[in-house]
């Protein structure tokens, strides 16, 4: 598995900047090769290097982890820029809907395609250095004389006026945590900028239902729904590599390991209504075991997608085979589906049980019977 590398990315926009900064952060968070860790505050800055009058810029920085190499990451950033309407020209100071640049690729000094990393402009421009210091204050910049200064030291050492750069205290870009408990992340905060395009879709849906999105009870509902849906489908932007995170250990045990009653919550892909229940996952090691919490995280990764229970059961089994190459794997899911309970046949007490067997669990009836007996017990 490829190791994740910490990276800093600078963001800037002076065409519909509040919307485009938020959309860029949202798209970064959904990229399968990027894990978004921290987002800076928003800063407004005067245009640099141009004599033609332009709107002010909004600037920010994000700290991410990625397994992409610098060129592949740069290509991914260019793809996000293009999706947001950026057309690059020979005029490097032209107004732009979004600018995404790799400012730091941790502990590496690189020059992919003529763009030096770390970005030397960090030493000159507060609109780059100050947001960077927000998200990685202790990262050190290697200077030509051999000295190293932290980003916080660089930012504090730059002289600038309020007109050249100031923080927008009434607006804050946010990134939704997809790890652990999340209820607090769903609260809609005043001035929060999250995902304007998604929120607009929710507003349209409310209007289609005959509601008024501007009334008090619904005023921040589009933001809450956007954040909730991002969390509930966060499995799309999570990889098996990130979930396992090298928590594989050598062990000579060859007895069955079972993790029972793993609660999960998912949504059916047919009606986007919830289904929920418990997963039981077992494997017989062949020299390697996995941290027990990682089994639950594998279940969550596939549950947090639009799903059918049958596919999800097989995905969990195949993933356990992939990361452990054990003698066998057994997975059983028991779930209740709101698409049966709330609509259609309206059977509130119905449940669905699915299983997937691999290796010795499929080939040996005694192994399979032992697993199923232990699950029922």
Residue 153 known to be catalytic: no
- Residue pair 26/195 in contact (Cβ under 8 Å)? The answer is yes
Residue 337 known to be catalytic: yes
Residue 109 known to be catalytic: no
Catalytic residue among 268, 280, 307, 315: 268
- Residue pair 6/63 in contact (Cβ under 8 Å)? The answer is yes
Residue 143 known to be catalytic: no
- Token match 């409310």: residue? 206
Three-class DSSP labels, the chain = CCCCEEEEEEEEECCCHHHHHHHHHHHHHHCCCEEEEEECCCEEECCCCCCCCCCCEEEEEEEEEECCCHHHHHHHHHHHHHHCCCCCCCCCCCCCCCEEEEEEECCECECHHHCCECCHHHHCCHHHHHHHHHHCCCCEEECCCCCEEEHHHHHHHCCCCCCCEEECCCCEECCCCCCCCCHHHHCCCCCEECCHHHHHHHHHHHHHCCCCCCCHHHCCHHHHHHHHHHHHCHHHHCCHHHHHCCCEEECCCCCCEEEEEEEEEEEECCCCCEEEEEEEEEEECCCEEECHHHHHHHHHHHHCCEECHHHHHHHHHHHHHHHHCCCEEEEEEEEEEHHHHCCCCCCCCCCEEEEEEEEHHHHCHHHHHHHHHHHHC
- Residue pair 215/203 in contact (Cβ under 8 Å)? The answer is no
d(Cα 315, Cα 309) in Å, to the nearest integer?
10
Q: Would the CA dihedral through 158, 173, 46, 86 be positive or negative?
A: positive
d(Cα 58, Cα 55) in Å, to the nearest integer?
10
Catalytic residue among 270, 310, 322, 363: 270
Catalytic residue among 271, 310, 322, 363: 271
Residue 339 known to be catalytic: yes
Catalytic residue among 18, 153, 172, 339: 339
Catalytic residue among 269, 310, 322, 363: 269
Q: Which residues are known catalytic residues?
A: 268-271, 309, 337, 339
């Amino acid at each position: 598995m490829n190791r994740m590398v910490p990276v800093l990315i600078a963001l800037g926009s002076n065409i519909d900047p509040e919307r485009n900064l938020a959309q860029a952060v949202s798209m970064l968070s959904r990229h399968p090769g990027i894990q978004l860790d921290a987002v800076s505050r928003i800063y407004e800055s005067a245009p640099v290097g141009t004599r033609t009058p332009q709107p002010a810029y909004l600037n920010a920085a994000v700290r991410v982890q990625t397994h992409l190499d610098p060129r592949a990451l740069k290509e991914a950033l260019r793809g996000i820029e293009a999706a947001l309407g950026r057309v690059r020209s020979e005029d490097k100071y032209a107004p732009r809907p979004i600018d995404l640049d790799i400012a730091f690729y941790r502990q590496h000094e690189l020059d992919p395609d003529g763009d030096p990393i770390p970005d030397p402009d960090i030493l000159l421009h507060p609109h780059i250095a100050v947001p960077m210091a927000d998200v990685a204050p202790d990262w050190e910049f290697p200077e030509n004389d051999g000295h190293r200064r932290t980003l916080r030291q660089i930012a504090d050492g730059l002289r600038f006026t309020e007109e050249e750069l100031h923080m927008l205290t009434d607006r804050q870009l946010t990134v939704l945590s997809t790890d652990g408990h999340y209820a607090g992340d769903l609260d809609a905060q005043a001035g929060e900028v999250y995902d304007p395009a998604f929120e607009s879709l929710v507003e349209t849906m409310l209007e289609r239902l005959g509601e008024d999105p501007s009334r008090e009870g619904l005023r921040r509902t589009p933001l809450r729904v956007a954040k909730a849906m991002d969390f509930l489908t966060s499995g799309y932007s999570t990889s098996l590599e990130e979930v396992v995170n090298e928590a594989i250990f050598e062990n000579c045990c060859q007895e069955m390991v079972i993790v029972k009653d793993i609660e999960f919550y998912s949504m059916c892909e047919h009606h986007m209504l919830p289904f929920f229940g418990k997963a039981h996952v077992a494997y017989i090691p062949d020299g390697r075991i996995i941290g027990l919490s990682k089994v639950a995280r594998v279940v969550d990764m596939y549950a947090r997608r639009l799903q059918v229970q049958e596919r999800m059961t097989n995905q969990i089994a195949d993933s356990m085979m992939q990361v452990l190459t054990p003698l066998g794997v057994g997975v059983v899911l028991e779930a209740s589906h709101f698409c049966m309970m709330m609509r259609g046949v309206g059977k509130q007490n119905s449940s669905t049980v699915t299983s997937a067997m691999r290796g010795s669990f499929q080939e040996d009836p005694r192994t399979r019977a032992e697993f199923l007996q232990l699950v029922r017990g």
